[in-house]
């Protein structure tokens, strides 16, 4: 009987060891930088999207992102915006056409090449961005609650280095 119990015990030990070894060698999503970034980014985007709708702002999260980048680089070519958004040119053309039709942005032909459109916020777009950025800032403060400023600064520094490594 003791031999059977010993055999069963050692069998359970081997089984547990094999399960733990397999788990240790598997990709752990909860510890993967890319997955954590994806989840955090998605949660922030979802919150921003809900708040934009709740407050009645006539833009999506994707449109806000394009508008803030245009605001940051007024006069930037549309092709450069596509790179900054990590989107293809066709997608960005549709996106800009949509927000242009609502009067938030204006496309002006380039001086050297009229086919290259430069993007500018209109006065209506600037007013919208003044209002919306206050809302976004509040959401980001909420997302960072309970995180000491020095830890948030360190997190941002690490993410900047990750971006540099991938360029």
More confident residue, 123 or 14: 123
Q: In this structure, are residues 52 and 138 in contact, taking their beta carbons and an 8 Å threshold?
A: no
Q: What is the pLDDT of residues 37-67, one digit of tens each?
A: 999 999 999 999 999 999 999 999 999 999 9
Total-model pTM: 0.76
pLDDT for 155: 92
Residues with Cβ within 8 Å of residue 13, at least 6 apart in sequence: none
CA distance 91 to 99: 13
Distances (CA, A) of 127 to 119, 130, 133, 136, 149: 16, 5, 10, 15, 30
Task: Match 């397999």 to its residue by tokens.
Answer: 22
Residue 106: how many other CB atoms lie within 10 Å: 17
Q: Average the pLDDT over 15-27 and give the result.
A: 59
Q: In this structure, are residues 75 and 119 in contact, taking their beta carbons and an 8 Å threshold?
A: yes
pLDDT for 51: 96
- pLDDT band for position 110 (50/70/90)? confident
pLDDT for 128: 96
């Amino acid at each position: 009987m003791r031999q059977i119990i010993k055999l069963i015990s050692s069998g359970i030990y081997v089984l547990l060891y094999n399960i733990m070894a397999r788990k240790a060698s598997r990709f752990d999503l909860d510890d993967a930088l890319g997955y954590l970034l994806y989840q955090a980014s998605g949660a922030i985007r979802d919150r921003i999207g809900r708040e934009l709708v709740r407050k009645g702002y006539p833009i999506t999260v994707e449109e806000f992102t394009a508008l803030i980048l245009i605001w940051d680089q007024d006069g930037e070519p549309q092709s450069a915006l596509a790179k900054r958004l990590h989107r293809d040119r066709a997608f960005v053309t549709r996106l800009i056409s949509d927000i242009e039709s609502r009067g938030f942005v204006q496309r002006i032909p380039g001086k050297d090449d009229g086919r290259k459109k430069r993007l500018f916020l209109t006065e209506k777009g600037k007013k919208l961005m003044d209002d919306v950025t206050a809302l976004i800032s509040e959401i980001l403060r909420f997302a960072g609650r309970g995180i000491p400023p020095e830890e948030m600064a360190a997190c941002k520094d690490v993410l900047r280095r990750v971006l540099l490594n991938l360029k």
